Amino acid sequence: MPEPPEELERHISGIVHRLIQRHFPELEPITIRFVAATQNTDSVFLETDVVTKTIFRSSADRLYVMYLNDRLLENGPGDLALEAILVHELCHIRDFIEMSGWGLIRLYVNVNYDAAFEIRYERETDICALALGYSEGLKAYRRLLYRTIDDPKLVALKQKVYLTPEQIDDWKPTR
């Protein structure tokens, strides 16, 4: 797996460490490896995954991966937006640690082959970040993403799958 620029990895890992301490203590025992993004680098700043050969291990023994786009160095979204999207990704990892290996395989199949499931899952993950107080950052991240992506069809897809800034404004926490 290709290594991201050292400066980027150091910056992101520091933020991730602080976010885990603040919001996700259950993620303290896991290992997150930072890897350079090699696909979809025009539309993705961050992605999270589980290393396939580790999915049938206990959740604490799996290897979780965060793919970092080096464009975060040159055209970064700013600290507020970066924290928000990292919280979104950590919400995914929290989901992953609660799943069995077969559950992770089902999730992968559903996210990749069932558009309605993918939309529901990604929006629930956005709501996880909103519930933790990251609405302004998530809106800032999405606005940057929409400006950064050159393909209007891909922007429209992102707006369909994830909450838009307007939908984030309309979100009301449930009690």
Do 44 and 162 contact (CB within 8 A), yes or no? no
16-49 tens-digit pLDDT: 999 999 999 999 999 999 988 776 555 567 788 8
Q: What is the pLDDT of residue 39?
A: 63
Q: What is the pLDDT of residue 40?
A: 59
Cα separation, 34 vs 115, in Å, equals 28
Q: What is the pLDDT of residue 42?
A: 56
Tell me how far apart the 2 most distant CA atoms of the chain are, in Å.
43
According to DSSP, the residues that pair with 67 across neighbouring strands are: 35, 47
DSSP conformational letter for 38: -
Q: Which residue ranges of the chain lie beneath pLDDT 70?
A: 1, 39-44, 175
Inter-axis angle of helices 115-131 and 101-113, to 10 degrees? 110
Closest CA to 107 of 93, 96, 91, 119: 96
Q: What is the pLDDT of residue 74?
A: 73
Q: What is the pLDDT of residue 175?
A: 64
Residue type for position 39: Q
Cα separation, 101 vs 76, in Å, equals 34
Q: What is the pLDDT of residue 44?
A: 63
Do 21 and 86 contact (CB within 8 A), yes or no? no
Cα separation, 68 vs 65, in Å, equals 9
Model-level pTM? 0.93
Pinpoint the alpha helices (H) of the chain. 6-23, 71-74, 79-97, 101-113, 115-131, 135-148, 152-161, 165-170
Cα separation, 65 vs 94, in Å, equals 13
